[in-house]
Amino acid sequence: MKRNTIYTLLLLLTAWQILSSSMRDPNNPPTGRTGAPGETTCGASGCHTGGNYSGEVTISGVPDTIVAGQTYTITLTHASNAVRAGFELTCLDASNAKCGTLTNISGTSLATAGGRQYIRQSSPKNLSNGSTSWDFTWQAPASPNGSNATFYFASLAANGNGQRTGDNVLTNTKGVVFQAVVATGTPAEKAP
């Protein structure tokens, strides 16, 4: 009887270790953690807590005024005093629906949930001289829904110990406006 109890406890301990290590998977974080309307972040949802890293997360490569249908190469940069970083980004139109199409280049992965598209790290990166970055592309919709869109993004500032404590989240947004479409054509001919 005592032997069965010991075997059961060992089996439960092994199962717990396997499950807890799979929950700490830093690759391909869960969707819906950008801080966009109706979402939270990994810090607010309790995934990662207790860190006090300072810094910022920014995107470049997309101008304030964009052209419908145009593809932009975007760089997301995490700059902080943390050891490791990861990220997740989505782009929404004025009605908080998916806007445009994200495409991964390297070190990123795509996911779709709740009608929204996400791009995120496929694995976290160590910071070098206080920063790290990821590149990907975004194609603006050919027929935008509304006149503006917003990129919502969050980046984990992590201590790199593989645990959920001692990390915090940096968030940011970037709003863009669609360039007004100008009708082209030839002027009407004058009647003789």
pLDDT in tens, 4-63: 666 555 444 444 443 333 344 567 778 888 989 999 677 665 677 778 899 999 999 999
Does 192 reside within a domain?
no
Task: Domain of residue 101: give its range.
Answer: 33-178
Q: What pLDDT sits at residue 162?
A: 85
Does 89 reside within a domain?
yes
Query: Which residues, in sequence order, are CB contacts of 125 under 8 Å at separation 6+?
Result: 84, 85, 86, 107, 132, 134
Q: What pLDDT sits at residue 50?
A: 77
Q: What pLDDT sits at residue 189?
A: 53
Asked whether residue 181 carries a pLDDT value surpassing 90, the answer given is no
Q: What pLDDT sits at residue 97?
A: 96
What are φ and ψ of residue 19, in 5° steps?
A: -65, -45
pLDDT in tens, 75-101: 999 999 999 999 999 999 999 999 999
Whose CA is closest to 94, among 132, 146, 59, 57?
Answer: 146
Task: Give the integer Cα–Cα distance in Å for 166 and 146.
Answer: 41
| CA atoms 102, 103, 108, 110: torsion sign | positive
Residue 80 CB coordination number (10 Å):
22
Residue 45 in contact with residue 33, Cβ under 8 Å?
yes
Q: What is the mean pLDDT of residues 157-178?
A: 91
Asked whether residue 113 carries a pLDDT value surpassing 70, the answer given is yes
Residue 150 in contact with residue 174, Cβ under 8 Å?
yes
How many domains in the chain? 1
Does 100 reside within a domain?
yes
What's the per-residue H, E or C state across 112-142? EECCEEEEEECCCEECECCEEEEEEEEECCC
Q: What is the mean pLDDT of residues 94-114?
A: 95
Does 68 reside within a domain?
yes
Q: What pLDDT sits at residue 23?
A: 41
Q: What is the average pLDDT score of the chain? A: 84
Does 139 reside within a domain?
yes
Between 153 and 182, the higher pLDDT residue: 153
Q: What pLDDT sits at residue 6?
A: 60
Does 3 reside within a domain?
no
Q: What is the pTM of this model?
A: 0.80
Q: How far is CA 160 from CA 84, 126, 167, in A?
A: 5, 8, 9
Whose CA is closest to 45, among 171, 134, 149?
Answer: 171
Does 189 reside within a domain?
no
Does 8 reside within a domain?
no
**CATH number of the domain enclosing 127:** 2.60.40.2550
Q: What pLDDT sits at residue 27?
A: 72
**Residue 11 tokens, joined:** 């089996």
What are φ and ψ of residue 37, in 5° steps?
A: -50, 130
